Structure 1
Amino acid sequence: MRLLDSTITSVHNARVKAWAQLLDKKGRDKQGLFIIEGVHLIEEALASGQAIETLVVAEERQSELPAGLLEQAVAAGVECIAVTEQVLAKCTDTLAPQAAFAVLPKLAWTPDDLAGDATAPSLVVVIDGIQDPGNLGTIIRSADAVGATGVLLGKGTVDLYNPKTVRSTMGSLFHLPIALGDLREELPLAAGQGAAIVTTSLQGKASCYDYDFRGPVWFVVGNEGQGVSAEVSALATEHILIPMQGPAESLNAAMAATVVLFEAMRQRRAVK
């Protein structure tokens, strides 16, 4: 069985130039594609049934791939191409890239996909202006860990397909619906369908440990420096706080989101 369809050696190759453009948001938006780097993310994408367009492998480092990975990709109809180290470096974001990357179409989720099903109340994580790609990736990973039904990314949030965001998710972006939407439209719709719109605030009156998360909840996480925007905060039905004993003024946005999400999971598991 021939596993590699062809070999590209020149960094000036048209396909290489197109892949390199995916490192920037403008290129990703234009092509509707994004890159995942490294074996773990590729394995997660294959296991999740994602429609990988191309798998690109460093020709001299095929031995670094897990046994059967290329065969699995070929069986899934993925184009597999070998490249030189120079080409690999041009198309990847890390200083010491792993032996492979893959090119995928952007995820096709919409806000309508976030509510989950009738078997359990929804738990949607809403992102209002998070700027750090590592924070966004961590929040998505936490949402995945607690079994959230989806993630809604509001305008002004860092690009989901930023290479650092993608790496920070550790594959969780393939495990649950993640959609873009206008929070001014989507939050009132969710509230109209019975969901509580919950934010954290230093002025909140109820502790996150006292709030009842067992019903449908859309939990809003705000910008690292400014918190939830005033117009989104005005749409919230509940403002809660995370109690702290030490002198720290606040928590990192991703840490705060994780604390609240795991409390929601604890309460929901307790009633099963």
Structure 2
Amino acid sequence: MPKVEAYIESVANPRVKGWVKLTERKYREREGRFLLEGVHLVAEALQAGWPLEHVVYDAGADLPEELLRYKESDEEYDSLENVPSWIPVSPEIISKCSATDTPQPVFAVARKRIVDTDRLFSEERSLVAVLDGVQDPGNVGTIVRGAAACGATAVVLGRGTADLYNSKTLRATMGALFHVSVVEGDLKELLPEAKSRGIAVAGTSLQAARSCYEYDFSGPTWLVFGNEGSGLSTAVSDLVDSNLIIPMTGRAESLNVAMAATVLLFEAQRQRLFNADNNQS
């Protein structure tokens, strides 16, 4: 049985103070831990076998079945190393550790996973979404979600990009974080390495002449997306092999970065599935 610890009531409890600190990026980075808020994210993490230290819940609230089964039996876990302790607390503690005005009655203390950058280069037909200074947490989370949905190899977060472990980013991923590798790195180092290994590096531009539907995504490809206002930084733009445009037959000035990333990721998926089906027929 998973361990159920003693009830904690006071927000002045030292343990609670440590959890509250994880609402700030500097403490998350220092400790390698972060908070997952809400039933859906906690359940997704448990189902994916993500390393959780604690599941903290409102002692006066009823846990939904999708969480209760993990609390009552360790048979649900893929590894005994991933069995968290369960800690009942007061509603005041739940509220103190939440970034929302109407917090759900559960959160988890999770450990960050360090992804080896070699994984980015090891897959034969890798598909990687690269973010260069994408600042809106909702956009970052949506791109992670899209990458997971189309079976991408990874998402790379370059400098200046919103924190993956920000509560808004995590909510926007809808749990997709647990199903795709996410790497933080220096694009001025990673992109040249990718190119030296024969990986195509493509970006988007309203000034580009080449349609994304004419581009061949069948080989290993990294798709680079820039800041919402200024696009790709000069240093990163210089490392892009091809600039693509998403044709728009209707009336709109442009697509936002999350929409553009979704279109390109799924066009890559479409080509790969379509070509694979054709080759088999």
TM-score (norm 2): 0.92
2:263 matched to which residue of 1?
A: 259
Asked if residue 49 in structure 1 is aligned to residue 53 in structure 2, the reply is no
Aligned length: 270
1:70 matched to which residue of 2?
A: 71
Gaps (5+ residues) in structure 1? none
Cα separation, 2, equivalents of 1:255 and 1:195: 23
Deviates more, 1:88-97 or 1:240-249: 240-249
- Note the C-alpha offset of 1:271: 1.7
Cα separation, 2, equivalents of 1:167 and 1:65: 21
User: Where does 1:1-272 land on structure 2 (aligned, <5 Å)?
Assistant: 4-64=4-64, 66=66, 67-72=68-73, 76=80, 77-115=83-121, 117-118=123-124, 121-272=125-276
RMSD: 1.6
Q: Per-residue CA shift, 1:3-51, capped at 9, x if unaligned?
A: 5211110001111111011111012112211000112111211122111
Cα separation, 1, equivalents of 2:47 and 2:2: 22
Is the Cα contact below 8 Å between 2:2 and 2:84 reproduced in 1? no
Residues 48 and 116 (structure 1 numbering): CA distance in 2 closer, same or farther, change over 3 Å?
farther
Q: Aligned to 1:82, what secondary structure does the other structure show?
A: strand
Q: Per-residue CA shift, 1:232-259, capped at 9, x if unaligned?
A: 0110011110111233221111001101
Cα separation, 1, equivalents of 2:220 and 2:2: 50
Q: Aligned to 1:5, what secondary structure does the other structure show?
A: coil
Q: Per-residue CA shift, 1:35-91, capped at 9, x if unaligned?
A: 001121112111221110111010001344534131256964311101000000000
Residues 211 and 245 (structure 1 numbering): CA distance in 2 closer, same or farther, change over 3 Å?
same
**AA aligned opposite 1:19:** W
Residues 201 and 100 (structure 1 numbering): CA distance in 2 closer, same or farther, change over 3 Å?
same
Q: Per-residue CA shift, 1:87-122, capped at 9, x if unaligned?
A: 00000111111121000111211322223534xx00
Is the Cα contact below 8 Å between 1:59 and 1:82 reproduced in 2? yes
Cα separation, 1, equivalents of 2:193 and 2:216: 21
Question: How many percent identity over aligned positions?
Answer: 49
Q: Aligned to 1:161, what secondary structure does the other structure show?
A: coil
Q: Aligned to 1:19, what secondary structure does the other structure show?
A: helix
Gaps (5+ residues) in structure 2? 277-281
Is the Cα contact below 8 Å between 2:2 and 2:74 reproduced in 1? no
Is the Cα contact below 8 Å between 2:3 and 2:84 reproduced in 1? no
**AA aligned opposite 1:85:** P
2:279 matched to which residue of 1?
A: none
Cα separation, 1, equivalents of 2:3 and 2:30: 30
- Note the C-alpha offset of 1:2: 7.5
Cα separation, 1, equivalents of 2:62 and 2:199: 49
Cα separation, 2, equivalents of 1:269 and 1:115: 21
**AA aligned opposite 2:71:** L
TM-score (norm 1): 0.95
Is the Cα contact below 8 Å between 2:204 and 2:245 reproduced in 1? yes
Is the Cα contact below 8 Å between 2:121 and 2:197 reproduced in 1? no
Residues 46 and 210 (structure 1 numbering): CA distance in 2 closer, same or farther, change over 3 Å?
same
